[in-house]
A = this chain, B = another copy of it.
Amino acid sequence: MNSVISAELKLRRKRLQQAIRESEMDACLLSDTTNICYVAGMVFSGYAYIPADGEPLFFVKRPTGLLDENIIYIRKPEQMADFLAQRGVKMPNRLLLEGDELTFNEYVRIQAVFNPQKTGNATALMRSVRSIKTDYEISQFRISAQKQTMTYTAIKSCYKTGMTDVDFQIEIEYLMRKNGSLGIFRTFGANMDIYMGSILAGDNAQAASPFDFALGGAGQDVTLPIGANGTVLKEGTAVMVDMAGNYTPYITDMTRVFAVGKLTDKAYRAHEVAVQIQNEIEKAAHPGVCCADLYNLALKIVEKENLSDCFMGTKQQAKFVGHGIGLQINELPVLTGRSNEILQPNMVFALEPKFVIPKVGAVGIENSFRVTENGLEKLTVFEEAIIELT
């Protein structure tokens, strides 16, 4: 492991250990892939045991062959207790476990291994710690943003007259992979199936989704109801491209709208309002601002412009206008009316005011922003007007 990564992992663990102490717990046990990535800088099947103070222990089932003084090979979780006892490490009385990530059966088994007097939710703690990005993580976002912009610049060249949304998406996916997209697109929570992103054209943008994304789309199969559904890209159609910025493990999120010929006046106006919402939130946002206030600012503009019936969908409307990004596409904070999260420096989030115009499609904008000491920095810089496909 190189020295940059080694220092980075130390910094992350220091922050995590501080959060463990602040929540008055003795240790945190992690096994979710994303959490393991975060604390170990790699994936293994097993458990990371992070005490409130001192060195972490990595209990590994797979892969074989890892060499590090903190790595202990195990076949089953019960061996963790044996190991701690042998080392004379005191068992944690107050233990954080991933209550929103471990399955019930895994959780119960691990609880029996440690038998703590008190348990807390490691999922919530990790999501909070991970929401403030390090300089290294921000450098990874910058690489993703740059490559995502390179892809978006070439999207126009993927279009051919008579294509369906699926045809168009396939060409964009191919371009993404050639530009270094890693393919995998991690999400938090159940019911968030997605493949490389979403293209929405015409009235498919109205299709309500079972998933918790901003917009829906019927998808190619009833068992995969998200995004493109085979809509032909004909004159007057808005084509919203929201394809993943998964060029490093840190995913940027960016949406641009393309038009086949000319759209309706309402579509252009709604697009301008979306850009205005973005710009107003960009001006209002800085450390100390509550995320709910930013969402309510968006709603205020939407109401003033008389576009409430098509903001963030029509038949089903998403109740947020932005979300944290990172190793997963849906991290903290969430810009929603119910949020009491406060912006802090080096939070990174996607802001995505969008409107769905019946018969035309979805319009609007999405960019990824970093919270700076006194405002926001836009990471995904690229033309924001509707781009005509020819």
Binding site for B on A (CB under 8 A): 31-33, 37, 41-45, 62-65, 97-108, 121, 123, 170, 173-174, 177-178, 182-184, 186, 190-191, 193-196, 207-212, 216, 220-225, 248-249, 315-316, 327
A190's partner among B33, B174, B186, B315 (CB-CB below 8 A) is B33
Q: In whole angstroms, how far apart are the Cα atoms of A64 and B230 in the complex?
A: 22
A315 touching B65 in the complex, CB below 8 Å, given contacts A37-B223, A104-B103: yes
Chain B contacts for A106, CB-based, 8 A: 100, 104
In the assembled complex, the Cα of A156 lies from the Cα of B44 at a distance in Å of: 34
Cα–Cα distance between A216 and B62 once the two chains are bound (Å): 11
Most buried by B among A63, A182, A193, A210: A210
State A212–B222 Cα separation when bound (angstroms). 28
Taken together as a complex, chains A and B put the C-alpha atoms of A183 and B105 apart, in Å, by 30
B316 lies within 8 A of A190 (CB): no
How many angstroms between the C-alpha atoms of A249 and B210 in the bound complex?
17
- Residues of A contacting B: mostly: loop
Would you call B105 and A225 a contact (CB within 8 A)? no
In the assembled complex, the Cα of A16 lies from the Cα of B172 at a distance in Å of 42
A67 CB to nearest B CB, Å: 12
Copies of this chain assembled into the complex: 2
Contact status B99-A211, CB under 8 Å: no
Q: Ordered nearest first, which 9 A-B pairs have the shortest CB separation? A: A63-B208, A183-B195, A104-B107, A223-B249, A64-B316, A99-B105, A170-B177, A45-B210, A42-B222
CB of A119 to closest CB in B, whole Å: 9
Among B31, B174, B186, the residue within 8 A (CB) of A174 is B174
A19, B337: Cα distance in complex, Å = 44
CB distance from A376 to the nearest CB of B (A): 27
| Assembly CA distance A237 to B32 (angstroms) | 35
Cβ A63 vs Cβ B223 within 8 A:
no
State whether A43 touches B223 (Cβ < 8 A): yes
* Cβ of A140 to closest chain B Cβ, rounded Å: 10
A31 cross-chain contacts in B, Cβ below 8 A: 190
> Hey, which chain B residues are within 8 Å of A99, CB to CB?
103-105
Between A and B, 6 residue pairs with Cβ closer than 8 Å are: A42-B222, A63-B216, A102-B103, A103-B103, A104-B107, A105-B123
B225 engages A43 (CB within 8 Å) = yes
A200 CB to closest chain B CB, in angstroms?
15
Taking CB atoms, residues of chain B closer than 8 Å to A45 are: 191, 210-212
Q: Which of A108, A123, A177 has the largest count of B CB atoms less than 10 A from its CB?
A: A177
- Known: A100-B105, A103-B100, A210-B45. Is A224-B182 also a contact (CB below 8 A)? yes
Contact residues in B for A211 (Cβ distance below 8 Å): 43, 45, 62
Q: Which residue of B lies closest to A171 (CB)?
A: B174
Contact: B210 with A183, CB < 8 Å? no
Task: Specify which chain B residues have a CB less than 8 angstroms from the CB of A102 in the assembled complex.
Answer: 103-104
The answer to whether A33 touches B191 (Cβ under 8 A) is yes
Q: Looking at the complex, which one of B41, B104, B108, B190 makes contact with A32 (CB distance below 8 Å)?
A: B190
Q: Which residues of B contact A196 (CB under 8 A)?
A: 183
Q: When A173-B177, A174-B174, A184-B195 are in contact, do A316 and B104 touch as well, CB less than 8 Å?
A: no
Query: A316–B62 contact, CB under 8 A?
Result: yes
Most buried by B among A45, A194, A212, A315: A45
Smallest Cβ distance from A180 to chain B, in angstroms? 8
